[in-house]
Amino acid sequence: MTKREIITLAFFYTTLITIALVLILNNNKAGNISEIIQAVTGVLTLLLTVVTVIYVYKAFNEQKRQNDNNEHQITQNNYDLEYNRCLDLIYRQIELNKKAIEKFQGNINKLNGYETPNQIPYYISHLTVVISNFHRFCQIIETFLQRSILHPNDKGYLFILFSENLPPDLHLIPIRFKNHIDLLGKNIKEVRNKSRIDYISFVKSNYQKNNIGLEDKWVNDYMKKFEIEHNEEIENYLRNIQILANFSIASLDTKERVMNPNFESKIFSFKDKNNY
């Protein structure tokens, strides 16, 4: 209790006791002294009990407030430790990524000429390396941040810190590939059909380059035979396109999923047979 509260209570109860004594004395002018003393003692005992209860109540509230403050401080300290731990991991992962990127920097450089959807077959091997690694980098950080107790805004900030330390081209390539997939079709069926046409055109173009002057009849015969005998190769290519599309979409949506675990990326399903 504060000094002001003690003075207020002392004044209140002094006044109350004084009034009580006056009333008792007035009502017992003709009574004996023992009854007056007994009555006064009862009043004083009652007042002392009230004061004790008030004091205990105030002490309890003060202790509870102190405990709440201590608990809040402990919680805040634990949160700060978790944040620093996550921050440390982010910087460690950034350093690991730099070393990993050195190994496929050549693939990134090769993709400087990748600009249109119909060029995908020409760059598919480089796209596979770059987009797969980009997806792996994002997945590692997402898994770690999702398991932490940090606030979604702090998770989002840490992911931005991580992504901003990746080479700009490593971001640009998945974005460009996703945009090209959107141009190829509205659903996986349309994407597969257009990708198949582009891949066949790619194979035909290479065949013509290697067989300059060959009549169109022989070229067309070769392509018909190719589509039959290499159907599995074509299907693997189309499946790879779908996987890379999903990798790109999922990776670019990582920040949203980190901040909102219920967020669902609109990836192409392999289970929906109607899309084929």
Give 212-249 as a DSSP string.
TT--HHHHHHHHHHHHHHTHHHHHHHHHHHHHHHHHHH
Q: What angle do CA 144, 132, 139 make, to 5 degrees?
A: 10
Burial state string for 215-246 with b = 16 or more CB within 10 A and e = fewer than 16: eeeeeeebeeebeeeeeeebeebbebbbbbbb
Measured distance CA(6)–CA(13) in Å, rounded: 11
Measured distance CA(109)–CA(167) in Å, rounded: 12
How high is the pLDDT of residue 233? 93
Q: Residue ranges per domain, the chain? A: 3-73, 84-275
How high is the pLDDT of residue 45? 72
How high is the pLDDT of residue 212? 79
Q: Is 226 left (phi over 0), alpha (psi -120 to 50) or beta?
A: alpha
How high is the pLDDT of residue 186? 87
Cα dist. 271→110, 236, 275 in Å? Answer: 34, 16, 9
Q: Is 272 left (phi over 0), alpha (psi -120 to 50) or beta?
A: beta
C-alpha closest to that of 195 among 236, 229, 246, 251: 236
- Locate 165 and state its tokens: 């330390």
Measured distance CA(185)–CA(48) in Å, rounded: 86
Taking a C-beta distance cutoff of 8 angstroms, is the pair 108, 130 a contact?
A: yes
SS3 40: helix
User: Whole-model pTM?
Assistant: 0.72
How high is the pLDDT of residue 276? 39
Q: How many CB atoms lie within 10 A of CB 264?
A: 10
Tens-digit pLDDT profile for the chain (276 aa)? 555 665 566 566 667 666 666 666 666 554 556 665 666 676 667 666 766 766 766 776 777 677 666 676 777 788 899 999 999 999 999 999 999 999 999 999 999 999 999 999 999 999 999 999 999 999 999 998 988 889 999 999 999 999 999 999 999 999 999 999 999 998 888 999 999 999 999 999 988 888 877 788 888 888 899 889 999 999 999 999 999 999 999 999 988 988 887 888 777 665 554 443
Cα dist. 75→63, 84, 137, 150, 189 in Å? Answer: 18, 14, 31, 12, 52
